[in-house]
Chain A
Amino acid sequence: MEPQGEHVDDTSKLEFLRGTLDVLILKALVWGPLHGYAITNLIRRQSDDALILEEGTLYPALWRLENKGLLESEWGLSENNRKAKFYNVTPAGRRRLRNEMKTWEAYAAAVAKVLGATQPPLREELG
């Protein structure tokens, strides 16, 4: 998950990094199949409106994940009887989610350590 560069827009809602998008999508679908619009809503609500997905990047991410075999798709009917494409996580996708979460947590912990430091690190012992 390499940061591609970030900028804060004037509404000060965080924009998304690409790799993060994949793992968020996978997590969003853990509780059952959803269509694309519902995925954006879920993520927005779960982050308490902090994370708003750029819609132009959502669908390509979904298709790429499907191509890699981490998601599978099926056409169905939405709540308002419209034809919509529903996505579901595959076993491979679940495995990938677990791995990504571990990596993400380790990364976040490391960043937090550095940012939360109250004093510079001790001099290294020379030996």
Chain B
Amino acid sequence: MGEKKKKVVKTIKVDVDKCNGCRACEVACSAFHAAPKYSSNNPARARIRVIREPLRDVYVPVYAGEYTPAECAGRDKYTIDGKAYEECAFCRASCPSRDIFKEPDSKLPLKCDMCEGDPTLEKPLCVQWCLVDALTYEEREEEVEEEKEQEELEIGLEALVNKHGLDKMMDTVARMALSKKE
């Protein structure tokens, strides 16, 4: 068994009932991530989007998560409290089936980084700008087994080795290591 290790989990709690649909979160996000910082504004570059259908009372602030190269095999629709939400409404992925969470010019995927950087903000800026408290921030500590990560890595590699062969994998890793050094 591996060693137990403390890990901080940063959480943005989203209360859709409190959302007023103003999109200040998108504004703050795009300003924060502009280069140089705050130099430009463009909600289409934001890593949070408010899925908004005012007439059906649908307001869902969604954060950009991991990039995924493939579409889902199927789609889901949720009905909550009698309100139907469109498929993908709650999904965080930057994926081929929709145009959100992609840089409008390059189409490269966007991902929420919790406003980490130089300096890391005490709370993500979107949370600071949400005065109606639809977004609140919480940090909690979780104990994780360090071993687990190693285990997961091995399982992943095993699959790749099975697919491509050990030699090819070794070559690739060596080439990647070399190019990183340069």
* A and B from one complex: no
Q: Which residues of B contact A (CB under 8 A)?
A: none
